[in-house]
Structure 1
Amino acid sequence: MSLHFHNRTWIQLQWQEPAPSLKERLRVLHTVIGVIQETLAFMSKRWRVILPVSEGLAARIRPQIAAPQRIQILPNLLDETRFHSGVRSLHRAAMRQQIHAGETDFLFIFVSTGHYQRKGLWSALRSLQACRKRAEKECGLHLRFLVVGAGDRAQQNLIPQLNQTAPDWRDWVSLIPPTSEVERWYAAADAFLFPSLYETFSLVALEAAACGLPLLVTAYDGHEMYLRDGGNGCLLPWTVAGMTQRIMEFLQVDRHHLKAGPDRFVHASGYADVLDQTYESVIRERML
């Protein structure tokens, strides 16, 4: 069983956050169904191996599994032919010119095609909004925010809340539609900002790190697989006030000495090998 989500954790977080709309309330109901299905799956004895995508997710499910030794971590793979440090030299100048970004423009990038409340878009927006004047005064930087992955319908839903949260957002926020070449936008950016409430791995964060961007992320499951706090990025607090202060510290100090690159990951070329080894071990076990 490949495991990419943990409904029990997510529903606990949903109860802590007030549902702002009927749509969000219906999502809570959907999660309840997921919890039931997930619990029944964990109770089944037919699984030989469970493959969670991160160490954080593995730690959450171990108390629910009768035999913890059947858990083997298999992280999401990274396509190293697309996501690597060379994309900055290949695409950075052209992509920044496309959005008229100057030398003093510092671009934070957020990548998602949906679930913006859970993934922390509004916390990121409020934090950057609070940093903008200080960043310009103390660092000489003009902060901009690239939100990549929002299609036409998603943008129609986002714009009213953008108008309410940051009335001047059109001056510094760019909504970029879904793209098959997201690595070009990583190349244009200067840092990856993703204060998600809940993830189990976050492939986009891994991709950003591989492209040489410092990571500014919260302590969701999976961050331990590629973030070294103070090494290749910064761990953000959950509150907007704490997040704002940490971003300013990053702009003033950390951005000058962070070393780009993920901690560790599975390349696309090696992903099948890991799966083969897993199946072989199960087959050998059954033959004994």
Structure 2
Amino acid sequence: MKSANGRPEPGGRKPRVALVAHDVHDHGGMERAFAELIRQGHESVDFVVVSAELAPDLRPLVEWRRVVLPTRPFPLKFLAFGLAAGVKLRSVEADIVHTMGAIVPNRADVACVQFCHAGFRAATGRLAPPDSPLPRRLNSGLARALALAAERWCYRPARLRRFAAVSRGVAGELRQHYPSVPVAVTPNGVDPDRFRPDADVRRVVRGAQRVADEELVLLFVGGDWDRKGLGVAIEGMASAQPRLDVPLQLWVVGRGDESRFAGLAGRHGVGERIRFFGPRADTERFFQASDVFVLPTLYETFSLVAYEAAASALPFVGTRVSGIDELAAGGEAGVLVPREPVAVADALVALAADPARRVRMGEAGRRRAGGYTWGRSVESVLSLYRELRAPGAGARSPG
């Protein structure tokens, strides 16, 4: 492995690291973390990737051991991947085994934790969001139960050497629920050149959507709409609109049950004020064209989209969860609220009435997000690799 200044390690041989994840690409926080690690770390490390999907631009940079499996339902995908990837991993000779959470039964050196299922259950008292439809609750509940069982198996000193937590908040959850495994913090990053204010893009996108300058565009980005609080955002907007002279719109970027949430908006009288754009590869354009980012989420560990919003100089309304609470900086960059429509409405009314405050919060958010780059993220992981390979650091048990 090369040192931070680019020089090879003593001996000159690059370490061989096995990365194990369901998918590695740019569409999602946990998927993006390994994608950036490969892009920025492949000159220092020989990566072997064990995954079902791998972005085409990454394939020439690594050795890919593809896992073929069903994509749905997720509980079946989770079990199938654990078995098939576990078999493939046993044939990989690696100095470091780095997994994306508890997804294979094999021993590992590092587990990157982008979601702590024990922490979710402790924080919410549930296995699934309570306001989702019964079939989704059953599917999510089964998936969460399987994930909890996997955590209890994998997150033991006999099976894992180190956690790589993406925020101080999730590090605290891991120390509480799995205290026997040491924790390092390796935050995610943001691309400040891609996610930045752009007045020209703002004008073009709003023009294409026929949105007037005086309208206030709220933005929601992500999947898992029940957990992330799209319903709360819709009800909050509906409650805020009668108290405002300025028209509100809610733009939704991501995959979810559009018909169900459009129906919710219609029942609250704002059906014409919500627009669904589906999954997009150009999310930065929506950040640049919007006025306030809204994420009344039930649980997060880092929330990459919140940091991308902040890097784009968007003020945000969010709940006090891991990652977002650190980003808010005591209210300088965002408004933290309870996960209730009336609280979201109050925050929206206050921000709508004070454009100067929105500008100040956006500037503060961009400064805060500037401390979280993918370069720093990757270096924190490479530093952890060096620590684990140092003399006297011990070694992973076989199996």
> Which TM class, normalised by the smaller chain length?
0.7 to 0.9
Q: Match for 1:225 among 314, 321, 326?
A: 326
Partner of 1:119: 228
C-alpha distance in 2, partners of 1:284/1:172?
57
One of 126, 139, 146 as aligned partner of 1:26: 139
Q: Which residue of 2 aligns with 1:39?
A: 152
Residues 25/169 of structure 1: CA separation in 2 closer, same or farther (3 Å cut):
same
Partner letter of residue 286 of structure 1? Answer: G
Find the partner of 1:279 among 342, 363, 385: 385
Q: How well do the aligned residues superpose, as a CA RMSD in angstroms?
A: 2.2
The answer as to whether partners of 1:80 and 1:268 remain within 8 angstroms in 2 is no
Per-residue deviation, residues 254-273 of structure 1 (Å, max 9, x unmatched): 43642422424431233332
List aligned pairs for 1:3-152, cutoff 5 A: 3-12=113-122, 13=124, 14=126, 17=130, 20-67=133-180, 70-85=182-197, 88-112=198-222, 114-136=223-245, 141-150=246-255
What is the TM-score with the length of structure 1 in the denominator? Answer: 0.87
Displacement of 1:21: 1.3
| Aligned-partner SS, 2:207 | helix
Moved more, 263-272 or 114-123: 263-272
Judge which range, 199-208 or 73-82, deviates more. 73-82
- For residues 193 and 361 of structure 2, the distance between their equivalents in structure 1, rounded to whole angstroms, comes to 24
Q: Deviations over 1:54-108 (max 9, x none)?
A: 111111110233456x2111111212231123xx224111011011111210001
Alpha-carbon contact 1:11-1:28 (below 8 Å) kept: no
State which drifts further: 36-45 or 98-107.
36-45
Give the 3-state SS of the residue equivalent to 1:48 in structure 2. strand
CA distance in 2, matches of 1:285, 1:71: 19
Distance between the aligned counterparts of 1:197 and 1:158, measured in 2? 20
Deviations 1:163-196 (A, max 9, x none): 2443444421111122111101111100100111
Structure 1 runs, 4 residues or longer, greater than 6 Å off: none
Residue identity matched to 1:276 = L
**What pairs with 1:182-197 in structure 2 (closer than 5 Å)?**
182-197=283-298
Contact 2:317 / 2:347 at 8 angstroms: preserved in 1?
Answer: no
For 1:246 and 1:89, locate their aligned partners in 2 and report how far apart those are by CA, in whole Å.
Answer: 25
2:353 is aligned with 1:240: no
Judge conservation of contact 2:325–2:336 (CA < 8 Å) in 1: no
Separation of aligned partners in 1, 2:261 and 2:372? 38
After superposition, the Cα gap between the structure-2 partners of 1:66 and 1:142, relative to the gap in structure 1 and judged at 3 Å, is closer
In structure 1, distance between residues paired with 2:260 and 2:325: 35
**Richer in strand (by share):** 2
Contact 1:163–1:169, Cα closer than 8 Å, also in 2: no
Q: Is the 8 A contact 1:19 1:25 kept in 2?
A: no
Partners of 1:82 and 1:161 lie apart in 2 by 30
Pairing of 1:251-262 with structure 2 (within 5 A): 251-253=352-354, 254-255=357-358, 257-260=360-363, 261-262=365-366
Relative contact order: is structure 1 or structure 2 higher (C-alpha 8 Å, sep ≥ 6)? 1
Unaligned runs of 5+ in 2: 1-110, 395-399
Instruction: Note closer, same or farther for the CA distance 1:164–1:231 as it changes in structure 2 (3 Å cut).
Output: closer
1:166 aligns with 2:266: yes
- Runs of at least 5 residues in structure 1 that lack an aligned partner in the other structure: none
1:287 is displaced (CA, Å) by: 5.8
Contact 2:130 2:137 in 1 (8 A): no
How far has the Cα of 1:11 moved from its partner?
A: 3.1
Larger Rg: 2
CA distance in 2: counterparts of 1:39 and 1:8, whole angstroms: 9
Name the CA distance, whole Å, in 2 between partners of 1:40 and 1:243.
39
Rounded Cα–Cα distance in structure 1 between residues aligned with 2:254 and 2:170: 25
SS for the counterpart of 2:252 is: strand
Preserved contact between residue 262 and residue 274 of structure 2 (Cα < 8 Å): no
Residue aligned with 2:331, SS: coil
Query: Which moved further from structure 2: 183-192 or 228-237?
Result: 228-237
User: Which whole-Å CA distance do the structure 1 matches of 2:131 and 2:261 have between them?
Assistant: 17
Report the 3-state secondary structure (helix = DSSP H, G, I; strand = E; otherwise coil) of the residue aligned with 2:194: coil
Letter in 2 for 1:278: L
Letter in 2 for 1:159: S
- Paired with 1:220 and 1:64, the residues of 2 have a C-alpha distance of 17
Richer in helix (by share) = 1
